[in-house]
Amino acid sequence: MLSRSQAARVRALQRRKGREESGEFLVEGVRQAEDLLASPVVPHLALISPSLGDTPRGRELSKRVRAAVSTTDVTDAELAHLVTTQTTQGVVIVAGIPRFGLDDVTLTDQSLVIVLDAVQDPGNFGTITRSADAFGASLIAALPGTVDPWNPKSVRSAAGSSLRLPIVETTLDALLAYLRHRGGTLIGADMHGVEVDRAAYSGPVALALGNEGAGLGEAVREACDQLVAVPIGGSAESLNVGVAAGILMYLLSRTS
């Protein structure tokens, strides 16, 4: 039976303040729950409703969740009032936010670091995180002004990648010290930069991606060793930051 305290706990995690105070975030739906159980992230509480048992996949997941974490059975209606999606899929899990520092991640000369400078759309954050995971990035560094990595939409858009890839919320000064100590290069995505396949860089590479409307902030731009661009041959003036990030990561991963 769902208690008032459990309902309040889940609702609080829909807000950044609640996530920051508790150190927890929400995992919603079958695919996310499966990804969570396959990751090192620690689940704290699960809510399961009858609709999870409508499919063989859901019934198997229910067994795995119950074996892994304290679980409360709720009605479909109760769960519907607690999720941020239109359909509940019968499962919500409260999990501990994985905490990493820059020094927790070891870089090699082939490493790729993704730096987000005030990227504010949670969908873009998740898309970039998913691409970073796909192209073998070592970590995501989120600078001040960037959307909360553990916003439910950020987590959904990352499709499990935020559970596998270290995400570090840090400052520009700390990031630069980390990179310089390891012989790294900071390059920034900018439509006026050199074409990425003509760029010169060495050691670990950090790719900085800017705000959806304003691009890179002045401090990050000045700190960059080089600015790079995706060559565009059509009529569009620019690319969405998530699309540009995926293209740049692909090209950088081929030359690393």
Does position 156 have pLDDT exceeding 90, yes or no?
yes
Question: Tell me, what's the pLDDT at 137?
Answer: 97
Does position 84 have pLDDT exceeding 60, yes or no?
yes
pLDDT tens digits for range 193-226: 998 888 888 889 999 999 998 999 999 999 999 9
Q: What mean pLDDT do residues 153-157 have?
A: 95
Please provide the average confidence, as pLDDT, over all residues in the chain: 94
Question: Tell me, what's the pLDDT at 218?
Answer: 97
Question: Tell me, what's the pLDDT at 42?
Answer: 97
- Residue spans of alpha helices (H) in 69-109: 76-80
Question: Tell me, what's the pLDDT at 99?
Answer: 94
Angle between helices 241-255 and 122-134 (to 10 degrees): 20
CATH of 102-255, one of 3.40.1280.10, 1.10.3720.10, 3.30.390.10, 3.40.140.10: 3.40.1280.10
Query: With a threshold of 0.75, does the pTM exceed it?
Result: yes
| φ, ψ of residue 43 in degrees (nearest 5) | -80, 145
Q: How confident is the model at residue 255 (pLDDT cuts 50, 70, 90)?
A: low
pLDDT tens digits for range 54-77: 999 999 999 999 999 999 999 999
- The answer to whether the CB of 96 falls within 8 A of the CB of 24 is yes
Q: Which of 214, 226, 220, 215 is nearest to 175 (CA)?
A: 220
pLDDT tens digits for range 224-250: 999 999 888 776 677 899 999 999 999
Q: How far apart are CA 244 and CA 238, in angstroms?
A: 9
Q: How confident is the model at residue 88 (pLDDT cuts 50, 70, 90)?
A: confident
Does the domain at residues 4-96 carry the CATH identifier 1.20.140.10? no
Question: Tell me, what's the pLDDT at 203?
Answer: 87
Q: What mean pLDDT do residues 136-160 have?
A: 96
Per domain, the residue ranges of the chain are 4-96, 102-255
Does position 256 have pLDDT exceeding 60, yes or no?
no
pLDDT tens digits for range 106-121: 999 999 999 999 999 9
- The answer to whether the CB of 166 falls within 8 A of the CB of 105 is yes
